[in-house]
Structure 1
Amino acid sequence: MPAHEFTLDDLKRILREGAGADEGIDLDGDIVDTDFESLGYESLAMLETGGRIEREFGITLDDDTLTDAKTPRELIEAVNALLVPARIG
């Protein structure tokens, strides 16, 4: 059963599980508007992250979603926009 909301904590957990965390970056800090590249997550790490989000939350992310979402806030909003129909239905 898919979750009803994708949170920053979900994203941080998935990033750590899938791609690890750069030792110089504190994911527990205020990262919501920091671009993924500055956090140490390149395109391959984001593809892995996207795949994990899709499996866990039962959604499909198109390639543009992952490339257009430059910050955790943008990705969280994009994922939650896909989860809205599940909340209504």
Structure 2
Amino acid sequence: MSDKEFTIEDLKRILLEGAGADEGVDLDGDILDTDFEELGYESLALLETGGRIEREYGISLDDDVFTDNRTPRTLVAAINGYLEELVAS
């Protein structure tokens, strides 16, 4: 496993840096299984988020990473999968 793990806190930070947060959305609440659209993040915000993750972690994400992973929990797991692949190669 990579020594650099992607956490929910990393995701929250990157979401806030790139797109901010909708009024009334508490990213500090229990959001792990909440759809990104319900959190106020639509395709453009998620594209920005993906770009920031790629630059910060030195990985290349598949185009469908956000359509396949609609919640923070599944996205964090997917990003960690990319990081594990990076270390293995």
| TM-score, structure 1 normalization | 0.91
2:34 alignment partner in structure 1: 34
For residues 3 and 50 of structure 2, what CA distance do their matches in structure 1 show? 15
For residues 3 and 34 of structure 1, what CA distance do their matches in structure 2 show? 27
| TM-score, structure 2 normalization | 0.91
Is 1:58 paired with 2:58? yes
Which ranges of structure 1 fall in alignment gaps of 5 or more residues?
A: none
Secondary structure at the counterpart of residue 50 of structure 2: helix
Q: What does the per-residue CA deviation read over 1:21-51, in whole Å, with 9 as the maximum and x for residues that have no partner?
A: 0111000000000000000000000000000
> How big is the alpha-carbon RMSD for the aligned residues of Structure 1 and Structure 2?
1.6
Task: Calculate percent identity across the aligned residue pairs.
Answer: 68
| Equivalent position amino acid for 1:77 in 2 | A
2:84 alignment partner in structure 1: 84
2:16 alignment partner in structure 1: 16
- Give the paired residue count: 88
